[in-house]
Amino acid sequence: MFMFKFDQAGLIPAIIQDIRTGTVLMMAYMNKEALEKTLATGETWFWSRSRQVFWHKGETSGNVQKVREVYYDCDRDTLLIKVEQKGAACHEGYRSCFHYRLERDGSATVVGEREFDPAEVYK
pLDDT in tens, 66-118: 999 999 999 999 999 999 999 999 999 999 999 999 999 999 999 999 999 98
- The fourth-level CATH superfamily of domain 12-91 is Phosphoribosyl-AMP cyclohydrolase (3.10.20.810)
8-64 pLDDT per residue, tens = 999 999 999 999 999 999 999 999 999 999 999 999 999 999 999 999 999 989 999
CA dihedral defined by 96, 98, 100, 102, rounded to 10 degrees?
-160
Domain ranges of the chain: 12-91
**Residue 84 near residue 20 (C-beta atoms within 8 A):** yes
Q: In what order do the strands lie in the sheet with 12-18?
A: 24-30, 12-18, 79-85, 65-72
* Distance of alpha carbon 25 from alpha carbon 116, whole angstroms: 15
